[in-house]
Copies of this chain bind each other. A is one copy, B any other.
Amino acid sequence: MQTPRIDNLQYANWSEKIFRQMRDGGLDAVHVTIAYHENFRETVLNVEAWNRWFQRFPDLIFQGRQASDIALAQASGRTAIFFGFQNPSPIEDDIGLVEVWHALGARFMQLTYNNQSLLATGCYEADDSGITRMGREVIAEMNRVGMVIDMSHSAERSTLEAMEVSARPIAITHANPAFWHPALRNKSDHVLRALGQSGGMLGFSMYPHHLKNGPDCTIDDFAEMIARTAEMIGAEHLGIGSDLCQDQPDSVVEWMRNGRWTRTRDYGEGSANAAGFPDQPGWFRDNRDFGGLAAALARAGFSDAETGGIMGGNWARFYAQSFGPMGG
């Protein structure tokens, strides 16, 4: 079996075109966001929308539920779609919904999306009080059922505490090292080292606000950053989480930032003068560009095995150890 190719974070304006581009790009699995601010019932509507996509395009995509679905995708020439949340809003204030969501296929859940949640502190808050009382309970429950804790949008202390509290390795599905580009969303050396030491995974983001020089970032600079991160924490903890938001209108990024928590307008990583989605770098427009990324990793000095791991093998291993019940 060839090493799989996996993108561990996308939130596109889904269409047949994009599913075909996934096939053209050789994606065996994609972790898709099905909730930013949606509550339980609203997220169920997003599941229903995905069920309709699965029914319409059974030759292109199917719902992934376990790591072995990656092999099924490879064998059948399709892309396995794994569900995840960028916010714990789908469990509302109800720990019992963690198990319910696992049954519905959710495999990743961020404990926060920028702001304070009931579970932890987001990276846009002024102060970070760490994992809350409910957060500790929910982490244990996620560990138990096999749902991955994702701290991509969380603040530093909360992220470190999540690794300590969690009995299973966690993920930062889409972010880059702050040593390369010091964005609020990128991660400190301390977080990256702790992540690697605890067996966690980092997915590199190609969202322009997370890139040095934004849309002008070069592919070789990006690959070189991955090489430096590999030296720091080991290539086996690295993968891709592109944060591709293909074909989304700017109204979507405004909603991502503002949800329904404010009556004023928050610009997040943008600004009043640049409120919309930033332009993607020319070397990563859509799913067909993953081949170019693999080539850049090779140029940066990675072996074939390392490149394969970063392009999907490491996520496949992590899926295998993460999606089943604890001890299972």
Residues of chain A whose beta carbon lies under 8 Å from any beta carbon of chain B: 37, 39, 89, 92-96, 115-118, 121, 124-130, 132-135, 137, 140-141, 259-264, 266
A selection of 14 A-B contacts at a CB cut-off of 8 Å is A89-B93, A93-B259, A93-B261, A95-B262, A96-B263, A116-B129, A117-B118, A121-B129, A125-B129, A127-B129, A127-B130, A129-B129, A137-B261, A141-B263
CA distance A275 to B135 in the complex (A): 23
Question: Would you give the shortest CB distance from A251 to chain B, in whole angstroms?
Answer: 18
Cβ B137 vs Cβ A262 within 8 A: yes
Question: Would you give the shortest CB distance from A125 to chain B, in whole angstroms?
Answer: 6
Q: Output the nearest chain B residue to A260 by Cβ-Cβ distance.
A: B94
Question: Would you give the shortest CB distance from A140 to chain B, in whole angstroms?
Answer: 8
**Set of chain B residues within 8 Å of A118, measured between Cβ atoms:** 115-118, 261
Q: Output the nearest chain B residue to A264 by Cβ-Cβ distance.
A: B137
**Set of chain B residues within 8 Å of A127, measured between Cβ atoms:** 129-130
| Contact A134/B262 with A116-B118, A118-B118, A128-B129 known, Cβ cut-off 8 Å | yes
| Contact A115/B129 with A93-B260, A260-B93 known, Cβ cut-off 8 Å | no
| Contact A115/B92 with A121-B129, A129-B125, A263-B141 known, Cβ cut-off 8 Å | no
Question: Would you give the shortest CB distance from A214 to chain B, in whole angstroms?
Answer: 25
Question: Would you give the shortest CB distance from A161 to chain B, in whole angstroms?
Answer: 10
Q: Output the nearest chain B residue to A98 by Cβ-Cβ distance.
A: B263
Cβ B134 vs Cβ A261 within 8 A: yes
Cβ B137 vs Cβ A115 within 8 A: no
CA distance A71 to B128 in the complex (A): 46
| Contact A261/B133 with A92-B92, A116-B116, A118-B118 known, Cβ cut-off 8 Å | yes
Question: Would you give the shortest CB distance from A165 to chain B, in whole angstroms?
Answer: 12
**Set of chain B residues within 8 Å of A95, measured between Cβ atoms:** 260-263
**Set of chain B residues within 8 Å of A92, measured between Cβ atoms:** 39, 92
